[in-house]
Amino acid sequence: MAVSEIHAARITVNRMIAYIMKDKDETVQSEREINQQYHHEILDRGKNGICVRYFTQSSFHRCVRTNPYRTFKEFQQKFQKKISRAKTQSKNGEEPLAYHARISFAGHECSQEVAMEIGDRVAESLFKGFPTVVSVHTNTDNIHIHFAVCAWNTDGRKWRNCHATTQMLRDVTDQLCEEYGLSVLEKTRKMHLVRTETGSYENTDHRYEHGTSAYVNTKKYEELKKKRMTQSDIVKQDIDMLLPRASSYENLLDLLRMLGYQIRAKKQDGDWMKHVSFLAPAFSKAVREDKIGDGSYYCRKNLEAVIAERIKKHPELAEQDLDGTDDIPIYDDYRYTKIPVQPMREDYYKKRRKDGSVVQRRRTEWQNKAIRSLKKDDLHVRTLLDTTEIWKLAEEQEKLSARKMKQREDSEAARYVAQIENTFRALHYTEQNEFESYGQMLNVIKAIHRDYAEILSKKEEAEKLVSDRERNLRVPEQVAELKERIKNRDLSYMVEHYQDDVSKLDKLLARCKALGFQDPEKFRQFKEKTEEYRAQLSQLTKMLQAAEERLDEADNCIRTYARIDAEYGIDVSAPMQRYEQILRGEYELPDSSRDRSRSDADRDER
């Protein structure tokens, strides 16, 4: 089902624009009721339920991004008096100053990004020339688009709201829904409104609850709704379709996710849940595996056995790439200006090994959270700046040190751009190390701190050794200088400094003898050895700098994921407390954890 409607603004224009642009807060009783596929954050968990904020994505056409109402007001002041009509189109007798249009889709059949693209295309085709604000809302059972349209266009012509323009909105909506693969029923594509005493509605024997100006692209919606397949039937049908292509049960879940499914399969510790649940597109509540079919065939353990038996008969299926992952890009530069955020995949990724070969990995839940955070922040930044301004700001921040960058984060856009860059760094770090939990990350961080302490200790020892040897190398030169001074027979020198210099010379000659510097060959060997120690000190300095960079990356990673988890309402106080203990040198990991952390450095090569 797709519904579209347009009417004159029923509230003041500034309130209408503020309403459609505002993030929406909803209260639910459990996390299962949250639309996980859309950008959101959990604000509070209380006795009355979970307070969730769904982020509204907005775009602006021919109006000021930071204050679109100002553009609407300017057009009103400029063009309102040019045309005077005896009859107005507003029910209250006042001339309409703006119009409010809406397109509502069937359930959650499309993503927020696709809805935004459709809204932008409607604004550029149907409302061409009219200042328009487009906003996508995801807080209800149906994802929908709001349009705030100024009553006058750039030429001063006024929007004429009538059956013809309402039909045009429906025609454009149907065309775009068909293009994007969304639901369009052909039976009513050619139907038009008919006039009755009580209003105008579609030429069917069912008057829709959406109002006389609403268009529902179905013949008898209530009848078709009764005949619609249940979610269990749809999940059963999709599993039957994908099962012959799946190389494992997890691969089957990935294929379902590519169809738009939301699946709850594993706990945070990685163990399987007692029952896997499936949320198909356009549905609001998930269905458990034991509620599908006969209640047993579509359960995880049975499907694993079915797939294993098929793979046993046809081993070649295990090697096929059946999940459409050949087109996954390889990102070598993890910067905001180098990677398009919204198309990033949440199922698989590819990374380049040190030997240049490429390996494909399935994303962890952590990485999925990072990508969702990137997409949410990217959408927010794009409501504040256009693409050119974003790239300019990101490039400026890349040139600044961390301290100076914090000083420059004086605007909301700058803060979000910096946050996006930090999330990219954290995502890259987890991809390279394949982290899945705070425990794994803390193991590696502890190992890095231990390596850093060892390198620092060796560097301090090397600095002392090189300093002592350099001081010894200067002894022959000091001996020559003292001998030259002692030759001076000036009376004042003989009285004040002669005895001190003779004593110093004796000590230096004794040191030369102890070091064997009388032999030129031994002096040369001592000098060469000192150069070797200098090279070792230089190498240790580079190793210490590399360890500091690893500590900085690890610090950014754990703090970024702690921020993201906190946005999801997850308590991260325990792992962050252990992290602070590591920084103070108070937290010791078990020996088994240390052994595992030593092997993490070789993970990439494997």
Residue with tokens 């005896």: 86
Residue 318 confidence (pLDDT) above 70:
no
289-304 average pLDDT score:
92
Q: Which whole-number Å values give the CA distances from 578 to 398, 422, 440, in the listed order?
A: 31, 22, 13
pLDDT (average), residues 322-341 = 71
Inter-helix orientation angle 412-433/520-567, to 10°: 110
Question: Coil, strand, or helix at residue 40?
Answer: strand
Q: In 140-166, which positions are buried (b, 16+ CB within 10 angstroms) versus exposed (e)? A: eebbbbbbbbbbbbeeeebbebeeeeb
Cα distance between residue 369 and residue 598, in whole Å: 27
Query: Residues 261-291: pLDDT tens digits?
Result: 889 888 877 788 899 999 887 677 899 999 9
For the beta carbon of residue 531, count every other beta carbon within 10 angstroms.
11
Give the integer Cα–Cα distance in Å for 594 and 582: 13
Q: What's the length of the chain?
A: 606
Find, among 357, 366, 304, the residue nearest to 330 by Cα: 357
Query: Is the pLDDT confidence value at 366 over 90?
Result: no
3-state DSSP assignment of residue 136: strand
Cβ count within 10 A of residue 196: 10
Alpha helices in 197-269 (DSSP H): 221-227, 231-242, 249-258
pLDDT digits (tens, 9 = 90+) for 175-191: 888 888 888 755 455 55
Question: Degrees (nearest 5) of the Cα angle 157, 163, 166?
Answer: 75
pLDDT for 72 equals 92
Q: Judge whether residue 160 has pLDDT over 60.
A: yes
Residue closest to 550 by CA, chosen among 418, 429, 403, 405: 429
Per-residue pLDDT for 79 more than 70?
A: yes
CB 150 within 8 A of CB 130: yes
pLDDT digits (tens, 9 = 90+) for 477-520: 888 888 888 887 677 878 788 888 888 888 988 988 888 888 88
pLDDT band of 598, cuts 50, 70, 90: very low
Task: Please give the pLDDT value at position 602.
Answer: 44
Decide which of 606 and 551 is more confident.
Answer: 551
Whole-angstrom distance, CA of residue 112 vs CA of residue 110: 7
What letter represents residue 380's amino acid?
A: H
Distance CA 477, CA 361 (A): 63
Cβ neighbours for 18, distance < 8 A, ≥ 6 positions apart: none
Mean pLDDT computed over 571-595: 70
**DSSP bridge partners of 359:** 351
Q: What percent of the chain has pLDDT over 70?
A: 81
Distance CA 65, CA 21 (A): 11
Band (361; pLDDT cuts 50, 70, 90): confident
Considering only CA atoms, give the Rg of the chain.
Answer: 35
Of 476, 6, 519, residue with least CA distance to 214: 6
